[in-house]
Amino acid sequence: MRDLKTTNTLLLIIVIVLGFYVLKILSFIFIPLVLSMFIALLFLPLTRWLGKKRIPKIISVLIVVLIISGILKLGTEVVRHSIHEIISVESSFIDKAETKLVSLVVSIEKFFAIDRIQGESIFKHYFQGDNIFKNLGPTMSFLRSTLSMTLMTAFFSILLLSESINFQKIMNQTLFNVKYSSVKIFMKIEKDMIKFIIVKFFISFLTGISISLVCLFFNINFPIFWGLLAFVLNFIQMIGSVVVVIMLSLFAFIELEPTGTLLLFILILIGLQVLFGSVLEPIFMGKTFAINIITVFIMLMFWGYIWGIPGMIMAIPITVFIKIILEQFPKTKTIASLMTGNEIKVNLKRKR
């Protein structure tokens, strides 16, 4: 019996490893599929309500498509204004930036033994001519893959919203034998995912608006761009806010004199990130998403390795989804408790 148990355990480990390997290899399919699942969960209550009003399914799906198209149109306009803002930058700003960065870049060049013609412009050397064209290939490849994933996400979203792919039935046939259990768990997943997406979007939106306003107040260039960047990166739990603060602080070093004003600007940035990310977001999320920091870091690194940036963005929703599933089985409840830190707290109380 012990040998059989050991064999089964080893086979399970092999299957899990192979499963994650398949997820990585077929990321161009699974990323749009998982993303479309979250989009469908967000709009399922609307389609369900429209169904109760006896509105045909195809009309309900068209209404959702129009709403998503409107959101994408608004996002496109914000990106367009941000790009126009960057393109219209004055040459004096580039001169000022080069003056401030030259000493820093020269130090880095000496450290890494990088050769550059003396007197040649840093911006001209690194951002013009052949250096741009060297990066053009990867950029075009990235744009093609992004467009492909966007179209696949739209396709899967329509299938899920029209219930051509019924996620609840799949759960019932694979994970749960009792229909009532699958319905109950599906409703919990739907409720928690909707709450997470709405709260995350709301907090990210407030973060982006606040960053833009602070940039305007301190006369930092590209306020729309920085607000948009803060909005997008805020979806990457913990890491995104740190990246925004570091990037914007370095940029502010060019714009502002290294005095108390620069320090005040950085302190305000940190304060905003702490307010929205560490105070307001946990309050709005509640105990449902009480996942400990170690689990968050592990999931961010793991899904970042599997799926890159999209994986880091979807890491927490996937973690919440996994936690809800694990809570339904007696043998895996301990793992779910460890993900939230409850098991550790219980053990500490017992020792006391």
Task: Establish if 314 belongs to a structural domain.
Answer: no
Do 319 and 295 touch, CB atoms closer than 8 A?
yes
What's the pLDDT at 106? 65
| List of residues 6+ apart from 245 with CB closer than 8 A | 266, 269, 270, 273
Q: Is the pLDDT of residue 207 over 90?
A: yes
Q: Evaluate whether residue 270 is within a structural domain.
A: no
Banded pLDDT at 102 (limits 50, 70, 90): low
Number of folded domains that form the chain? 1
pLDDT of residue 346: 45
Range of the domain at 86: 23-107+114-165
The rounded distance, in Å, linking the Cα atoms of 140 and 307 is 19
Which residue, among 319, 276, 270, 274, has the nearest Cα to 296 in the 3D structure?
319
More confident residue, 170 or 46: 46
* pLDDT one-digit tens code per residue, 57-90: 888 889 988 988 888 888 888 888 777 777 776 5
pTM, entire model: 0.75
CB contact at 8 A, 171 and 185 = yes
pLDDT (mean) for 237-252: 86
pLDDT of residue 91: 62
Q: What number is the average pLDDT over the span 97-116?
A: 63
Task: Choose among 241, 242, 240, 266: nearest CA to 253.
Answer: 266
Top-confidence range, 126-130, 181-185, 322-326: 322-326
Which are the contacts of 292, defined by CB distance < 8 A and separation ≥ 6? 339, 340, 341, 344
Examine residue 264 and state whether it is found in any structural domain, yes or no.
no
Q: Judge whether residue 261 has pLDDT over 90.
A: no
Q: Is 311 a domain residue?
A: no
pLDDT of residue 348: 44
Judge whether residue 17 has pLDDT over 70.
yes
pLDDT score recorded for residue 50: 87
12: in domain:
no
The model's confidence at residue 272, banded by pLDDT at 50, 70 and 90, is very high
**C-alpha closest to that of 41 among 169, 192, 150:** 192
Average pLDDT over residues 188-200: 82
- Is position 223 within any domain? no
- Please state the rounded mean pLDDT for residues 15-39: 87
Q: What is the pLDDT of residue 10?
A: 81
pLDDT tens, position by position, 286-342: 655 667 778 888 888 899 889 888 888 888 888 888 888 888 777 778 888 887 765
The pLDDT score that the predictor gives to residue 144 is 75
Residue 267 has pLDDT above 90, yes or no: yes
Distance CA 200, CA 237 (A): 10
Helices 91-112, 239-255: inter-axial angle, 10-degree rounding: 110
Does 81 fall in a domain?
yes
Query: How far is the C-alpha of 6 from the C-alpha of 12, rounded, in Å?
Result: 10
Residue 15: inside a domain, yes or no? no
Mean pLDDT is highest, among 45-59, 205-219, 232-246, 334-348, for 205-219
Q: What does the pLDDT look like over 134-160, one tens digit per residue?
A: 544 555 666 677 778 888 888 888 888
Assess whether pLDDT exceeds 60 at residue 344. no
